[in-house]
């Protein structure tokens, strides 16, 4: 290829040679064309990000022309559908955080425990069975989880518990949070396990040689060594919980309020967006624009958490 | 004295080791128990209503006559188009990143961008779909708009899966191809793609099964919740622009009604959805095994 004669010398040759050179030219064209076409496809994902930001921004900017940032972040009431309109984002943020906190309280210990079990205790045969089963948990559609929270966790479990649970409202943050937690367990477990598997065996062997028990090896050697990976799994899973929509729409309710009581109905940012988009909200109205402002907040929070989580993952990859 | 203290601390260390072992095993089992409870409950509630009439009827205000025909067909139509768009797009991006991309800023931006997109909540994709496909492209609430939104939503997963499949191609094969004088594109087309194909196909099917269960984005776009209409019944060519609903949206619709008859219907809908998912996943595994055997032969 590099010995190619200059100019069109080849093309002036007799028949078969010309065909050969034409094929070569076609091949050369292909070699130049293909990477560019593929790059074009790769750019679709970049365009998607631009599309997300632009589609959120246009309406969000329109929203903030009518509602000041001070009201948005300063007011503590969210009542866009009432005559007395208030646009304080905090009730929706509080609802989201309440559900997320419950989910984290479920998923972090269970996920971490499962990861330690899979990486330090389970024989490889057992692990080969357990891991796919846990992955099924991640593959169940969220609307199914929402149905489970609404029709089983709340009526059959929570309401049959003693004490204050008797008055649990049909829609409540607790059942939604518990189920969101179960949903993100596989994420915590598999990302944490990846981090633990990356810890060199020599470190474990050193500790065992000193007479440490399995638990001591896990607690004093493996978990500290995999720490940033474990934190990354927490951050990414919590970000997933914040963005979860169907479970909270079905089970947590539609009453935006500032409360820390998990047995009450609340509303998350995602559930609000669904509620408005399902109603007969005229395009261009202030209520329609609110979903873009809320989605913007959601997008910024989850993006920040994801960037942080990925930075942590990259750090462990570099350290071993 | 010291020997007693030492043996006591050894005993407590051993006890701790045992207790923690049990705790970690319980943690692993918790998820599995919840999964089992969920499945048993859904099937117990849902199976009694599952018959041909349910599959072959439209949704209705009367629970006894309600069926799942239009959501089921809607899901199949949307998924068919999603597969059509996301397979080539995901593969092309993966090929670029694995085979062609130079180590520069643009490549770095594309890569970070893909991993960030994977973490964007699905409802945000719904807003993107609503703004770009439904309004700017005036596709309205059509099968095509839904499929495009789903394509964008699963693109990061498709790309990541395809990249893994491409990475599994042994470098000895590509090196041999180059040694025979093949160009890069010839190597990609004749060596890399055939070898990685089963993996790419499996990855695509698995990411599609993620899309099948997605509710929020299509709900956002306004995929109607009551549709007594199968896309394509006014002529197949018009199907892409027909309105539609999908299984998870119909399930959501039934689940959010207070009457217990509708809750049972939701469970039946879930059974259908889970069966569709099971068939797809089993299909992916079968395909992979078959192709793998072929390559090994």
Of B38, B210, B220, the CB nearest to A273: B220
Residue B33 exposure: Cα atoms within 13 Å on the Cβ side: 7
Which residues in A lie closer than 8 A to residue B267 (C-beta atoms)?
Answer: 147
Which of B50, B55, B86, B90 shows the shortest CA–CA distance to B73?
Answer: B55
Alpha-carbon distance of A161 to A170, in angstroms, equals 14
* Cβ atoms < 10 Å from Cβ of A244: 29
- The pLDDT score that the predictor gives to residue B293 is 63
Residue A5 has pLDDT above 60, yes or no: no
Alpha-carbon distance of A180 to A270, in angstroms, equals 13
Which residues, including other chains, have CB under 8 Å from residue A308's CB and lie 6 or more apart? Answer: A235
Alpha-carbon distance of A294 to A59, in angstroms, equals 11
Q: What percent of chain A has pLDDT over 90?
A: 59
Report the Cα–Cα distance between both ends of chain B, in Å, rounded: 70
> In Å, how far is A136's CA from the nearest CA of chain B?
8
Residue B200 has pLDDT above 50, yes or no: yes
Beta bridge partners of B124: none
Give chain A's length. 320
More confident residue, B297 or A140: A140
Which of A277, A268, A276 shows the shortest CA–CA distance to A302?
Answer: A268
The stretch A296-315 carries a mean pLDDT of 91
Residue A10 has pLDDT above 60, yes or no: no
CB within 8 Å: A273 and B31: no
More confident residue, A247 or A1: A247
**pLDDT tens for residues A142-180?**
999 999 999 999 988 888 888 888 888 889 999 999 999
ipTM for the assembly = 0.90
Residue B216 has pLDDT above 50, yes or no: yes
Report the run of H or E that residue A92 belongs to, with start and end.
Answer: helix A90-116
Residue B6 burial class via C-beta count within 10 angstroms: exposed 0-12, middle 13-18, buried 19 and up? exposed
Give me chain A's average pLDDT, please: 88
pTM here? 0.89
- The pLDDT score that the predictor gives to residue A162 is 87
Residue A15 has pLDDT above 60, yes or no: no
**pLDDT tens for residues A72-102?**
898 888 888 888 888 989 999 999 999 999 9
Residue of A nearest to B154 (CA): A45
Burial A143-168 (b: 16+ CB within 10 A, else e): bbbbbbbbbbbbeebbbeeeeeeeeb
- Do residues A243 and B217 touch, judged by C-beta distance below 8 A? no
- The pLDDT score that the predictor gives to residue B113 is 92
Residue A267 has pLDDT above 70, yes or no: yes
Of A218, A245, A292, the CB nearest to B216: A245
Which of B81, B74, B241, B92 shows the shortest CA–CA distance to B151?
Answer: B81
Burial B264-281 (b: 16+ CB within 10 A, else e): bbbbbbbbbbbebbeebb
**pLDDT tens for residues B260-276?**
889 999 999 999 999 99
Phi, psi of B121 (to 5 degrees): -55, 145
Give chain B's length. 297
Residue B253 has pLDDT above 60, yes or no: yes
Which residues in B lie closer than 8 A to residue A222 (C-beta atoms)?
Answer: none
Which of A274, A275, A255 shows the shortest CA–CA distance to A264?
Answer: A255
> In Å, how far is B229's CA from the nearest CA of chain A?
20
- The pLDDT score that the predictor gives to residue A11 is 45
* Cβ atoms < 10 Å from Cβ of B285: 13
What residue spans of chain B are helical by DSSP H?
2-46, 52-55, 69-95, 105-117, 122-128, 143-167, 171-179, 184-187, 193-213, 216-220, 247-255, 260-296
- Do residues B218 and B47 touch, judged by C-beta distance below 8 A? no
Residue A13 has pLDDT above 60, yes or no: no
- The pLDDT score that the predictor gives to residue B192 is 93
CB within 8 Å: B93 and A45: yes
Residue A217 has pLDDT above 70, yes or no: yes
- Do residues B221 and B130 touch, judged by C-beta distance below 8 A? yes
Residue B73 has pLDDT above 70, yes or no: yes
Largest CA distance in chain B: 92
Alpha-carbon distance of B243 to B222, in angstroms, equals 10
Residue A7 has pLDDT above 60, yes or no: no
Which residues in B lie closer than 8 A to residue A37 (C-beta atoms)?
Answer: 92
Residue A2 has pLDDT above 60, yes or no: no
Residue of A nearest to B185 (CA): A31
Q: Provide the chain A residues 85-104 that lie in CB contact (below 8 A) with chain B.
A: none
The stretch A38-66 carries a mean pLDDT of 92
CB within 8 Å: B216 and A42: no
Beta bridge partners of A87: A78
């Amino acid at each position: 290829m590099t010995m190619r004669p200059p100019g069109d010398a080849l093309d002036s040759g007799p028949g078969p040679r010309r065909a050969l050179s034409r094929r070569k030219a076609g091949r050369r064209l292909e070699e130049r064309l293909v990477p560019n076409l593929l790059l074009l496809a790769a750019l679709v994902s970049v365009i998607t990000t631009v599309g997300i930001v632009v589609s959120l921004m246009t309406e969000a900017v329109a929203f903030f022309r009518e509602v000041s940032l001070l009201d948005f972040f300063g007011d503590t009431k969210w009542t866009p559908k009432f005559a007395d309109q208030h646009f304080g984002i905090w009730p929706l943020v509080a609802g989201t955080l309440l559900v997320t906190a419950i989910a984290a309280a479920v998923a972090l210990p269970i996920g971490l425990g499962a990861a330690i079990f899979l990486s330090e205790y389970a024989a490889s045969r057992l692990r080969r069975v357990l891991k796919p089963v846990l992955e099924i948990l991640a593959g169940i559609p969220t609307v199914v989880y929402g149905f489970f929270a609404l029709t089983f966790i709340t009526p059959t479990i929570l309401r049959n518990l003693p004490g204050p649970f008797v008055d649990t409202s049909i829609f409540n943050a607790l059942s939604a949070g518990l189920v969101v937690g179960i949903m993100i367990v596989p994420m915590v477990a598999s990302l944490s396990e990846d981090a633990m598997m990356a810890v060199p065996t020599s470190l474990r062997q050193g500790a065992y040689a000193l007479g440490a028990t399995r638990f001591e090896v896990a607690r004093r050697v493996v978990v500290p060594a995999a720490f940033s990976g474990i934190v990354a799994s927490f951050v990414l899973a919590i970000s997933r919980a914040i963005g979860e929509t169907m479970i909270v729409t079905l089970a947590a309710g539609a009453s935006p309020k500032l409360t820390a009581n998990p047995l009450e109905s609340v509303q998350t940012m995602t559930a609000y967006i669904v509620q408005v988009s399902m109603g007969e909200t005229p395009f261009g109205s202030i209520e329609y624009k609110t979903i873009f402002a809320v989605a913007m907040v959601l997008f910024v929070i989850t993006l920040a958490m994801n960037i942080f989580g990925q930075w942590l993952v990259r750090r462990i990859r570099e350290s071993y | 004295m010291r020997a007693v203290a030492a043996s006591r601390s050894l005993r407590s260390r051993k006890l701790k080791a045992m207790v923690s072992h049990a705790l970690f095993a319980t943690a692993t089992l918790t998820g599995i128990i919840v999964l089992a409870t969920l499945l048993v409950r859904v099937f117990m509630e849902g199976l009694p209503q599952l018959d041909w009439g349910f599959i072959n009827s439209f949704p209705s205000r009367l629970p006894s006559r309600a069926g799942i025909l239009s959501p089921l067909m809607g899901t199949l139509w949307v998924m068919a188009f999603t597969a059509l768009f996301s397979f080539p797009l995901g593969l092309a991006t993966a090929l670029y990143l694995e085979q062609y991309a130079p180590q520069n800023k643009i490549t770095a931006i594309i890569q970070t961008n893909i991993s960030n997109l994977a973490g964007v909540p699905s409802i945000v994709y719904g807003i993107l779909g609503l703004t770009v496909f439904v309004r700017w492209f005036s596709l309205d609430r059509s099968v095509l708009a839904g499929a495009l939104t789903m394509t964008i939503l699963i693109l990061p997963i498709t790309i990541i899966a395809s990249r893994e499949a491409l990475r599994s191609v042994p470098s000895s094969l590509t090196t041999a191809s180059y040694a025979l004088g093949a160009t890069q594109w010839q190597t990609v087309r004749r060596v890399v793609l055939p070898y990685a194909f089963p993996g790419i196909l499996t990855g695509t099917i698995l990411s599609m099964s993620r899309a099948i269960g997605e509710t929020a984005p299509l709900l956002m776009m306004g995929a109607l919740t009551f549709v007594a209409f199968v896309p394509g019944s006014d002529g197949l060519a018009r199907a892409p622009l027909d309105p539609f609903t999908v299984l998870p949206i119909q399930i959501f619709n039934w689940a959010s009604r207070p009457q217990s008859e509708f809750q049972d219907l939701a469970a039946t809908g879930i059974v259908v959805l889970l069966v569709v998912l099971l068939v797809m996943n089993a299909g992916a595994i079968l395909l992979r095994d078959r192709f793998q055997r072929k390559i090994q032969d």
